[in-house]
Amino acid sequence: MIAIHHSPGVYLAIAAFLFAAGVYGLLRRRTLIGMLIAGELIFSAASLNFMTFNRFLAPDPAVGQVFVLFIMGLAAAEVAIALSIIIAVYRNYRSINPKELSELNG
């Protein structure tokens, strides 16, 4: 049986797919919630890259894990703040479609 998990290329390809799906989601989603989920896919791709380089290239195994923990904390803070903003926008405008929020333009 071929052990493909011993190669960093597999993990980097998965991370590239996650990143591409996140960027596509940011460009194509029409709701703020969809854009938020697409942003989380980009954070997941970055975390997977850090863990891949940590496993295959780093002499100290804790470095990549610490970076991933910081990314997870940043993602949690982003979700909390973004959801509170989305709820406030929905209460004022009764929509979370970004194109309908023309009054927010400066």
Q: What is the pLDDT along the chain (106 residues), one digit of tens a residue?
A: 566 677 888 999 999 999 999 999 999 987 888 888 999 999 999 999 989 988 888 888 788 888 889 989 988 998 899 889 888 888 887 777 777 766 665 5
Cα 76 to Cα 81: distance, rounded to the nearest angstrom: 9
Cα 102 to Cα 42: distance, rounded to the nearest angstrom: 27
pLDDT of the residue at 92: 80
pLDDT of the residue at 49: 92
CA dihedral (44, 50, 51, 54) in degrees, to 10, reads 180
